[in-house]
Structure 1
């Protein structure tokens, strides 16, 4: 969505209009990485006492319109908070993302007036319909580039194999080679082999097998943070380090000391656990 000059039949706070005195509305966006996703902090600043009170009562709301033309993604975030966090999922956007912010009526407002109307409109009253724009903020353009690499294909660093010992019922993890080897009971492996080709069930498999194995590997790396050179020859370690660096997480002593292996494992695999739960309840479509 591209902001353009527009004629309004009622007073609106904007940069190029003079319907109000001593009134102001502006907006900004901060972005940080959250795993493969983008966490947006949407900020709005409003100066107009009567409209500020209407925000508190939710008669009007801040509306942040997010659009990516390349993926046809569109979302409007409505809130009465001056700061609001929103997660842009990696699969939803790519390239240019435009964010335009407004103040909009959240209901029909009859006979609207404001003490800070400019002299040309002071004393007039207007009927404002729900959804009408009350103030226009800024447009922010973000360039979003996908950061996925080898970990999108778990087979590149994970190997799931059957145990040779028929009496073994536990899952074991071996990180002493190029891949993280997940050893599972033979009967379990037969079931896994029959089901693993289905894309829909992959989040379930990742949640049960890959996440625990990745947590184990990351915990070992964290505990060995003072001598990471022991892992340099392993492909799985180099892939994890590369993916971590793209998320602004360094595999160094200080950063690893503060790492939560379970939380970071989920981020590396794009949070498969909620998707697995949705699949198990029969909802095969991802949430909006």
Structure 2
């Protein structure tokens, strides 16, 4: 939710100075820690709004907050996934986890100070001069202070979100059979789909609800097969260092394993871990995430049908 330049029938304190109707000495803003790149810290399952709290310097609003007449809401919204939640934000730092499974496309994070009950004849010495003579009746849930926060993008397509996915090239094969095949070279893994099915894949891959499932069906079997060969080579005496020198795509697998597990992939891991399990791990658990996406898509369809049936009654 973003307030923007929306007008209210009473003065509001806005983090954007040009929109604020309070004096410049009054401040309200959402605060949090970012990483060294100026981004939200990430895990494989989401991003972290770390040490988040609201900063407020206006004595009148602070008094209302301390009396319990106003609270601060942290709004996390992703319109593409129809996800919207409000969490209570305080002046004490706290971590908030933003799960990728809830989010798609543009995600907005904002904070607002709102009334928890009616406040009659509200005035504030920090109002800009034009509002100082007046008193205002504030209704429950009216917004008194605004920080429209920030936006970021969540791309649930592992081919874009996960660096290891860049090792795949998906191409059509001019044949009438129904079998997918793959080959790997020094640089990448090439997946071939029969031409008719490649065309269907090409049409579906842009549909956000099916990205993980499509990727799981195609990439995980191919990668697990290639990793099974790597496992065989190691059992025959080669080392992971030797293999990553020979197969650049395997370096990306190792990098992703380190990101997910917080440690380096070893020769023993390659021998002990089932290649199918390893493939799922480094590809963002695309199989189960895909099943979840399809399930949510179908449930949304059922909900819409029920709403339409209710409207027809």
2:138 alignment counterpart: 128
8 Å Cα contact 2:254-2:265 kept in structure 1: no
| 1:113 aligned onto 2:123 | yes
- Per-residue displacement from partner, 1:197-230 (whole Å, max 9, x unpaired)? xxxxxxxxxxxxxxxxxxxxxxxxxxxxxx9749
Distance 1:54 1:252, change over 3 A: farther
2:7 alignment counterpart: 7
1:40 alignment counterpart: 49
Q: Give 1:115 shift.
A: 2.7
Q: Distance in 2 between matches of 1:51 and 1:269?
A: 48
2:277 alignment counterpart: none
2:28 alignment counterpart: 25
1:83 to 84, 93, 103: 93
- Per-residue displacement from partner, 1:79-132 (whole Å, max 9, x unpaired)? 223533211112111222112222111222223222322333335332211211
Q: Distance in 2 between matches of 1:136 and 1:96?
A: 20
Q: Distance in 1 between matches of 2:12 and 2:4?
A: 14
Q: Distance in 1 between matches of 2:128 and 2:2?
A: 28
> Matches of residues 211-230 of structure 1 in structure 2 within 5 Å?
229=241
Distance 1:248 1:108, change over 3 A: farther
Q: Distance in 1 between matches of 2:261 and 2:122?
A: 48
Unaligned runs of 5+ in 1: 159-175, 180-226, 254-266, 272-284
Q: Distance in 2 between matches of 1:93 and 1:52?
A: 33
Using the size of structure 2 for normalisation, the TM-score is: 0.49
1:69 alignment counterpart: 79
8 Å Cα contact 1:64-1:78 kept in structure 2: yes
Distance 1:177 1:98, change over 3 A: same
Q: Give 1:140 shift.
A: 0.4
8 Å Cα contact 2:49-2:95 kept in structure 1: yes
Q: Give 1:59 shift.
A: 2.1
Q: Bigger CA drift: 133-142 or 144-153?
A: 144-153
- Per-residue displacement from partner, 1:130-169 (whole Å, max 9, x unpaired)? 21110111330112234467999798999xxxxxxxxxxx
Q: Give 1:48 shift.
A: 0.4
Distance 1:17 1:231, change over 3 A: same
Distance 1:229 1:51, change over 3 A: same
SS at match of 1:124: coil
Distance 1:127 1:3, change over 3 A: closer
SS at match of 2:25: coil
Q: Distance in 2 between matches of 1:143 and 1:248?
A: 24
SS at match of 1:104: strand
Unaligned runs of 5+ in 2: 35-39, 166-211, 232-238, 267-280, 286-298, 300-313
RMSD: 4.4
Q: Distance in 1 between matches of 2:151 and 2:123?
A: 34
- Give the paired residue count: 202
Distance 1:239 1:118, change over 3 A: closer
Q: Distance in 2 between matches of 1:102 and 1:156?
A: 48
1:97 to 102, 107, 115: 107
Higher relative contact order (CA 8 A, sep 6+): 1
